[in-house]
């Protein structure tokens, strides 16, 4: 396979500015994902009262021990439902790829 040539310089000011802007967007994304996880944790007492596991705990029990799980669609339906704060991202579902 032929290598792709690039004039991109990781030391250039433009590169640094783009990297910083992208990191800001990634931080916003990660904060929104954390808000979804925090909302799920708020439900923990109700689940425990009913002797049930949280969805991510059930997924963890399905997976092969020690195997990774790549969660996808973490923010599907973000700010689309009755909640407009983004706390129900993922459309109320967990979706991903793992080894079972």
Q: What is the pLDDT of residues 41-59, one digit of tens each?
A: 898 999 999 999 998 899 9
Residue 36 within any structural domain of the chain: yes
Q: What is the largest CA-CA distance in the chain?
A: 60
Residue 54 located in a structural domain: yes
Residue 73 lies in a domain: yes
Compute the average pLDDT of residues 82-89.
68
Residue 68 lies in a domain: yes
**Domain-located, residue 60:** yes
Domains in the chain, number: 1
- Whether 6 is in a domain gets the answer no
Per the structure, the complete domain to which residue 60 belongs is given by 13-98
φ/ψ (deg, to 5) at 70:
-100, 105
What pTM was computed for the model? 0.70
Confidence bin at 90 (pLDDT 50/70/90):
low
């Amino acid at each position: 396979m032929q290598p792709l040539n690039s004039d991109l310089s990781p030391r250039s000011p433009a590169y640094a500015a783009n990297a910083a802007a992208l990191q800001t967007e990634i931080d916003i994304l990660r904060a929104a994902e954390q808000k979804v996880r925090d909302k799920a944790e708020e439900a923990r007492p109700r689940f425990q009262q009913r002797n049930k596991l949280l969805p991510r705990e059930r997924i963890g029990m399905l997976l092969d021990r020690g195997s990774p799980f790549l969660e996808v669609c973490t923010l599907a339906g973000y700010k689309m439902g009755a909640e407009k704060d983004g706390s129900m991202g993922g459309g109320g579902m967990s979706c991903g790829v793992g080894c079972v």
